[in-house]
Each structure stands twice: as C-alpha cells, then as structure tokens.
Amino acid sequence: MEKNSSSSFLLFDPSTSLIDFLRNKIPFKTVKLGCGEGGCGACVVLLSKHDPLLDKFDDFTISSCLTLLCSIDGCSITTSEGLGNSRVGFHAVHERIAGFHATQCGFCTLGMSVSMFSALLNADKSLPLPPKGCSNLTAAEAEKAVAGNLCRCTGYRPLVDACKSFSTDVDIEDLGFNSFCKKGDNREDILRKLPCYDHTSFNTFPDFLKNETKNLDSRNCKGVELGAAVTISKAIEVLREKEHGYMLAKIASHMEKIANRFVRNTGTIGGNIMMAQRKHFSSDLTTILLAARATPQDTALAPGEEDTRLLFETYRASPRPLENALPFMNAAFSAEVSLIEAFDGILVSDCRLVFGAYGTKHAHRARKVEDFLTGKVISDEVLIEAIGLLKDEIVPDKGTSNPDYRSSLAVTFLFEFFGSLTQTNSKENGFDQNVESLSPEVMLTSAQQVENQEHSPVGKGIVKAGACLQASGEAVYVDDIPSPENCLYSAFIYSTMSLARIKNISFKENRVPEGVLGIITYRDIPKGGQNVGVKGLFGCDLLFAEEVTHCAGQTIAFLVANSQKHADIAANLVVVDYDTDNLELPILSLEEAVEKSSFFDIPPPLRGKPVGDITKGMAEAEHKILGSKISFGSQYFFYMETQTALAVPDEDKCTVVYSSTQAPEFVHGTVAVCLGVPEHNVRVITRRVGGGFGGKGIKSMPVAAACAVAPSKMQRPVRTYVNRKTDMITTGGRHPMKVTYSVGFKSNGKITALDVEVLVDAGLTLDISLFMPLAIQGALMKYDWGALSYNVKVCKTNTVSGITVRAPGDVQGSYIGEAIIEKVASYLSIDVDEIREVNLHTYESLRLFHNAKASESSEYTLPLIWDKLAEFKQRRMVVEEFNATNKWRKRGISRVPIYGVFMRSTPGRVSVLSDGSIVVEVQGIEIGQGLWTKCGTTSDELLEKIRVIQSDTLSMVQGSITGGSTTSEVSCEAVRICCDGLVERLLPVKTYLVEQTGGPVSWDNLISQAYRQSKNMSVEVNILTGERTIMRTDIIYDCGKSLNPAVDLGQIEGAFVQGLGFFMLEEYVPNELRRSRGNRQYMDLQDPNG
C-alpha cells in the first residue's frame, strides 16, 4: 500500500484494521481513535483508488477504525499530515481551520481537515477546473463537508465558517470571526488574505497501484440494477442522476441519512441488508427498497398506467435529523393514484406501505392498510379508518423503548403522505407529486466580539497556539507518545453486577488468549501501598474491588498484554464468577435510596441555606402550585480522547506518569499513595488533553494509578488507551436527580415563595457530589423567588459515581428555575418572557440572595444584557404569526439568564533563557480553551519568543484542577505577577545599558547583560484573584474583558451545544437489569453533530 507518499510492504494479521496499522505498525500517529464504531470521524483518512474503465481516480473518505487493511489492497491512503505539515508547510485547509479559530482540544480536527479536503477535491472533479486559489464548492455543499465528524468543543459554527470560506457563492460578510480579515476589508482584500487553495497540488496516486477493477452498477429501461458490493455512496450518486426521476432521487436523499459519509463510502448495499436479515439491524435501506418494489435481482419499478401517477416518499424520525443516529422509526410509501373527476377526489389504484426500525426484527408491510386503501378515493373518513387499522398492525415488540411514541410516528407518517390528497383541485391535476424539492438553506452565522486594546495583545483574537499542528495531526497527545522499549498494554476488567462477591476471575474455555501476560488485582498493590484509585480531599476511593463489587462498572482488575488490541480482546473474554448469597439487594434508584434511607452526610456549610421567610411568602401568594416534579437523567462526557495513561518505571523506586488529566496534582498524590512511595518519587506530565468537560478530573486518577501499579509486577512500562465502551461504563457522568417543588405567586407572575426538595443520585461514592447542593442552589438563585426554602438529599446507590460534567449542578439548578417560571406562565396564561422579566433580580434582591457576591450595583449587568438580546420582540411576533398559520408545525422562542463563576489559585513561572527566548509554565492544563495562547499573550508582545510548556508536577506544584471556566484567568494572573517581578529585576540592567550606550536597548542585549550580572531570570507565584431544529440562537455573554475573544467564543458555543445534547438528545438509558447508569456504546449516545 501507499500512505502519504510512502510505500509499505509488510506481513500482517488479516484482522488488522487500518487504524491499527497506521498507528502501531508504521510511524504515523496522525489518525486518532475516538469511538471505534465509525461514528465520530477522528480516524477519517482519504482513500484513493484507480478506475481503469474511466482511467480516473476516485478519492473519498473512510473510517480507518472500521476498515480492514486487507480490504484496501491497491489503494493510496492520505492522512491530514499528508496534506501538509510543519516540515513542508501547512495546507490551506489547516491554515483556515486555525485562522477561523475552529479548533479547541484538537483531537477531532485532523479528521475534520481530511473531510473538508475531500469535499474540495470532489467538488473540483465534478466541474471544470476553477482558477487557482478558488474552489467549485458551494456554500450549501461546504456546510455538509464535515457532517458526520463530531466535535464536542466548538459548537461547529467556526468549523462551518472555515468550510464555507472555500465556497464560491458565500457572502464574505457572513463568515465568522477570523484572523485573516479586519472590518472594512472589501471582497478582493479578503480573498487575497485567505490562505490559497491549489486544486492542482494533489496527485499522489502511484502507478504501481493501478489495477483492473469491476464495474459495479448498470442501468436498464426498468430502473437501476445495483450489485450487492456497491457502496451506499456510489448508489446515491447513481440514483441522483437526472434521467432516473424524482422517486429514485428521494431514495437517494433518504440514504444520505444512513450513518455518515465516510461509512457510506465503504458500507455496501448487500452488507446493510445482511445486517438487517442476520443481526436485526435497524436498517433504513431495507424499508425504502421494500417500498420501492425492489427485488434481490434489481430495483426495477413496474410502470404505471398512463392516467395514473406514482407517488413515493420516505420518512425517518431519529434523535439527530441528519446522520449518525439509528432511527426510532423509518417508513417508505409508494402509491399509484389518479384523479377521479366524477368523485372529485384521488383514487388509490395500488399502494405499498412499509415501516421499519420500530422494534421489530425486519421491515414490515402494513398489508391490511394497503388492501383497505387500494381502490378507495381518499377522504378524511377513509384516512381515519386507515389510521385505526394501522394502530392495530404496527405494534412494537415487547421491551422496545418508547413504544407509544413509535406507534404515533406510524400514524404521523401515514397522515403526512395521504393527508394532502384529501383536498382536491388545490394543486395541478388534483395532487402534488412533490417533484420539486426545496433548496437547502445555507446556515447563517455571525459572531461579534468586542476586542479590548487596553492591554494588547491580551484581549485580542489571536490564533490559538498549536492550531495548525492540531489540524495536520502532528499535535502529540498521551497515546501518541512513542512506546518505551518493552512497553506493555492494558485494559480494565469491570464488574457486571451491582452488588456481589467476586469468587474467581478466569477466561472463557479456561484458555489464556493470545498476548496476555498477566492480570493485576488489588492483591498486586506494592507493599506499603494502598488500594486507592482516587485520593480526594474528603476520602479515598478503591482502585480495584476487593472481595465484593458494589456497582456495575466498578473496576475489578487490570489485564496486561503485548498490544492494546490483544488487551481489549482478552478483557472481553474474561469470565468473572459472582456470588450474591446473603447479600442485600442493591440500591439502583433514587426511590430505593429514599426507602432505605441511603444518604451521604453533607456538612452544614455545604448544604445550602434558606432565604427569607417561606411561610410569609406563601401567605402573600395569590396562587399556588404544590408538589410539582422534575427529573433529570445522566449525561456522558463524550470527550473525543478516552481516558489514557503511560507509566514508566525509573530508578530508585521513581515513576514517571504521562496522563491525560485535568488534575495532575491529584493524579500525582493518588499514584504516590497507591505505590506507597513519597510524592517526590512520582512525576506526572500532561501536555494537552483531547477534551475534558470534567471527565478528565477525578476519573483520570484510577487510570493513571492502575498503569503505575502494573510495572511494579511486570517490571516493564505499561500504558492503556481505554476503549469507548469501557470508558462509558466505568466513568459515570452527570448526576441524575428528582426535584419536587411548591411555588406561590401573584396574579402578575411575581413569585413570592419557592419550596424546593432535590434528590441527587451520587452513586457509590461521594466524590464531587459533596458540592452539588451549593452548585444547584447557586444557579437556582438567578431569579428573585421572594423567599426560598431549599433541601437537598445526596443519595448513595449501587451505581458508578456521578462526577463533574460541564457545569455540574449549575445546569440542573438553572433548568429547575426555568421549569418553575414556565409552569407559572402556563398556569396564569401569561407569556413566559413576562414572567421571567418580573422575577429578574433587582440589585436589592441580588444582595439578599447572594450577599457579598453581589459586588457593586454598577457591576450588575444582567438587566442591560437582557434588553440587548437581538430583536427579541420582533422575532416573537414572527413566531406567533407562524404558529397561527400552521396547524401541524410550531415554533418557539425563549431567552433565559444563567449564572456566575468562581476562581481558584494556580501557580505560574516565567523563565527567560540566555538567548532571550521565554518559557512559561502554568499548572493549568490546555484542554482546548486556549490557555497556552492566553498565558503567552500575558507574558509579552514578542509572541514568537514565547513557548508555554507542558505541565510537570515536580516542576510546578500545587496546581489544583483545571475547570470552572476560569483556570485561564488565574493562570494569566500568575504569569502577569511573574512578569512584574522580572521587570523589576531587569530595570536596573536596562538603566545601566542606556547610560553606557546612550540609546535604546534591544531585548536580546538586555538579557545577555542580565545573565552576565547573574540576575535570577525565573519567577514563580501562587495567586488567587478575586472577582457561564434551532432556528436561531443569540448569546450575549458578559465575561468582563476577554483574554482572547476568538477562543472564548468557541468555548461558549461548545458549552451551549453540549447543553443542547443534555436537554434534547443524549438520553442516558439504564440497561434492562438497571445494573449500570446507561449506554454501552457510541451509537446509543446521540450527542449533537454538525
């Protein structure tokens, strides 16, 4: 094979995947493993193959995690690094991603780059070559370029802007905030400043890979014949050809919602059908092909009579409307209809109604409904009777989730298809063929930031350090660090029982799988060490379960093998024998915890406190709502990089741990306790983290500790990259909650009293749940409730502990407040926006609820921000007009306030080297928020002289945890104070040089003289400074003076989209035995995509 212009001829296992080959067999790390299921796009590469019949090259993206190496014989593979890199120069795609601030943690960015380049390449192929520097890509096509590539950080807006910057028809003014253009630039200036895309520069397919291939599809007068080995993407291309008509075009449109582009590029028609047949896969393809009267031989459609018309439509309801989501139900209907003037109606001559993916094993024809409708003139009465038959025929199997919803979808789809036919003569020939489809609307985005020039370059929108390295794939994460000599690999073995004794650990058939070298349990903790996976401020959690496992997902052991592949395979072959005799039943729900009084004790200062007189407030109320309930599920982090660590034993009982963590200090302490060594024997290094959102805080500690324990037994370095399924089961997520409240209010909507009781599912251990009561109340108090009674019980259950997920407690508290406001508005039949406004804090109520946190009245900016929300009243009128004129589709509009943030201390150090270059160290971790860039701009305007280096716990101690949205600010303050100290030391040297030379002094000469005078050029400080289909979203965020508005904007948008996932998409469903919190694989998790 050929990869990035390098040829490889190697012997390999036929089961070897392309990503395994690229990452472990040859020295290329510029693909990343995200989900392992082809669903995230981090592993996307460009595949090029030769078509000998047309003598042309096909270039398309594929998921390297799903592609077997042996399946791409004779193909060329290009990764993002192959497009351009730091050695030969970055590609225009890389530079535009960086310039549009479209990368944060960067773990997904290289896949985005390849997808974007593939769209450019194929757009150029389909049309005459454009002028150099331009592309034939349209704005609508550009928006779909990264569809299927997931990003948990950015919120997608800057990625879409970077894609659209290559299109020919984009309005330049619609492009988002970027580093190439400034206000006032005309179109020509902007196009000249954008990095130039050369469509002639990519031609790397070598002659030795050209070989003969077979034709895959053919056309005939009956329709289209598609071979079983034809890819879904190729089928879409064929079906879209104009001569095939609107019916096949509709099939193609539906097929575009299957999986994602890079899966469709390799997934075949036959493969999809076989999965539906053999594995009962929720296939869209079988449903639409059955409705289209396809057969195993061809997809020929029987021609209709001359006076009839063929109607065809497909339907799909899924958590995400575009890609990467299994459907709740799909359907495809075809009908031959004709206008019967005598009855002034539409006659159904023949029809086929097919439903699939609703909880049955295969796609199902509603034959009773078909027989009933055939020969009938469509009317309201006929349609109602047909719906009644349909309800009896389309019934989900027992155990199917959301059965009532799925059944209602069947009715909805049937009504949508036949409903328009009940109104005759309203359209040409009595009915609408739906031949014309609406052109896709291009997404309009804009971003406005106010740059602060007072302390320039601080406050300017500067490109994030390392952005091009992330886009090209050269940025190094923990799993990219080359393995030390004799390194071993590992995988966790976890419990599948909620409460049981562990009797024995063995393998299936009592055969040790290939590559396995040992299993580490609590018995292998070094002498003097402790079985500790988390050393917290308020106690320790176990690393491995001992005699009894207390929740499903609790780690039992650590399997060590000679490769990560062998470790993961062997871990799945482990058999754990359990015994539940004489054990109580596990507590698996909040209701069971309350029944058994299973609560954690929370110290009084952390419980929250009442505000005002609740009895008096209720007495003043003119209306009351009593005992209303709210419930919250959990949410998984879905950081793109899973938990990972590498432990290397060193001399004198020392250990170096490379950890993907937000809390190096806590990892450091946990490893030291676990190994039974002084903390100075442990060194934890973290360069960058591929997404955190709180999940790389506490839960990174047991991963690093397990990797550190294993070398003490194996006497070799050990590393692990936790697979996505294990990560989802063992790490937990956002806290499930149940809320009961009573609220009193006046007739104008002003709330006088609120009584709230909250049950928090903490899981097995307390961890961060200790702080949940205060976090929930802090966000809840964004409104003036008059008087507030607040009681929280933190419940202990036999489930994986809930931990920090982006704004833990705050997001639930904020939602509780909004739900109460909505309930009051509904009760009074008053617009909810009026209820919000009347309950916003005055400065006086702010001081009552928040005491000293209220600060000065001039700093209370919420009322001003509230009034600035863009065109709110006019847009509300548009929504009301739309709802009044549309019976079946409705829109809504809302504006909500949120909450404040807090700061914690963190150290920093600035060192000036002898050549004048500057090294900046902070203990804050770069997780995509641009911390390195912000600290660099704080240090000096000579940014090219500054390098911010990785975190090292023996170099920079007591760094706390990166989180809470303010680590950059406190890190920059630490750096600023260091710089002030350096200036104080250098000032006498500068004065001396000015006196000697009589003129200005260069930076290099100043530092050279300082070194000759033996000035200490390093300063360290630990400082705490005092002071969070959608048609449209406007966010106004008062963050004071942003350190880097371009980067901070992406953080805000990413948090907003993750919140959309929590409230609208990411249902976290417990398994049938309620043994663990939820989903077991990525495809069950519907996080938002672009």
- Is 151 annotated in some ligand binding site? yes
Q: Please tell me whether 75 is known to bind a ligand.
A: no
Nearest to 68 by CA among 26, 20, 33: 20
SS3 of residue 308 by DSSP: coil
Q: For residue 24, how many C-alpha atoms fall within 13 Å in the half-sphere facing its CB?
A: 20
- Contact between 110 and 470 under an 8 Å Cβ cutoff? The reply is yes
40 appears as a binding residue in the annotation = yes
d(CA 773, CA 414): 48
What residues does 347 pair with on adjacent strands? Answer: 338, 377
Helix (H) or strand (E) holding 558: strand 555-561
Strands 623-632 and 6-7: unpaired
Q: In sequence order, what DSSP letters do the residues of 335-395 get, joined into one string?
A: EEEEEETTTTEEEEEEEEEEEESSSSSS-EE-HHHHHHHTTPBP-HHHHHHHHHHHHHH--
Our CA dihedral for 345, 351, 357, 363, rounded to 10 degrees, sits at 170
Residue 40 to residue 31: CA distance in whole angstroms = 12
- Grouping H, G, I as helix, E, B as strand and the rest as coil, residue 620 is helix
108 has binding-site annotation: yes
- d(CA 1028, CA 810) in angstroms, rounded, equals 9
Q: Distance between CA 390 and CA 328 in Å, rounded?
A: 17
d(CA 129, CA 145): 19
- Is residue 682 within 8 A of residue 707, CB to CB? The reply is no
- Is 105 labelled a binding residue? yes
Whether 316 has a binding-site annotation, put simply, is yes
707 belongs to an annotated ligand binding site: no
Tell me, what DSSP letter sits at residue 1083? G
d(CA 363, CA 59): 34
Round to whole Å and give the CA distance between 1085 and 638.
9
Q: Is 65 annotated as a binding residue?
A: yes
Q: How many CB atoms lie within 10 A of CB 34?
A: 30
Helix (H, G, I), strand (E, B), or coil: what is residue 765?
Answer: coil
Rounded Cα distance between 164 and 142, Å, is 5
Annotated binding-site residue? 806: yes
Q: Which of 627, 726, 659, 720 shows the shortest CA–CA distance to 1076?
A: 726
**What does the alpha-carbon distance between residue 824 and residue 624 come to, in Å, rounded to a whole number?**
9
Give the number of other Cβ atoms within 10 Å of residue 440's Cβ: 12
CB-based contact 569:513 (threshold 8 Å):
yes
Distance of alpha carbon 1032 from alpha carbon 190, whole angstroms: 27
Token digits of residue 52 = 């000998």
Instruction: Give CA separation, 287 vs 237, 299, 408, 769, in Å.
Output: 20, 13, 18, 46
SS3 (DSSP) at 419: helix
365 is in an annotated binding site: no
Measure the CA–CA gap between 365 and 354, rounded to whole angstroms: 4
Q: Are 476 and 482 in contact (CB under 8 A)?
A: no
Is the CB of residue 882 less than 8 Å from the CB of residue 891?
Answer: yes
Residue 753 pairs in a beta bridge with 744
Cβ–Cβ < 8 Å for 500, 578: yes
Please answer whether residues 576 and 556 qualify as being in contact, where contact means their C-beta atoms are separated by less than 8 angstroms: yes
Task: Assess contact for 774 and 741: CB atoms under 8 A.
Answer: no
Amino acid identity of 143?
Answer: E
| Residue-wise burial string across 640-668, b where 16 or more C-beta atoms lie within 10 A, e elsewhere | bbbbbbbbbbeeeebbbbbbbbbbbbbbb
Which segments are annotated as binding site? Answer: 35, 40, 43, 65, 105, 108, 151, 153, 316, 662, 693, 806, 964
Which segments are annotated as binding site for FAD? Answer: 316
Which segments are annotated as binding site for Mo-molybdopterin? Answer: 662, 693, 806, 964
Which segments are annotated as binding site for [2Fe-2S] cluster? Answer: 35, 40, 43, 65, 105, 108, 151, 153
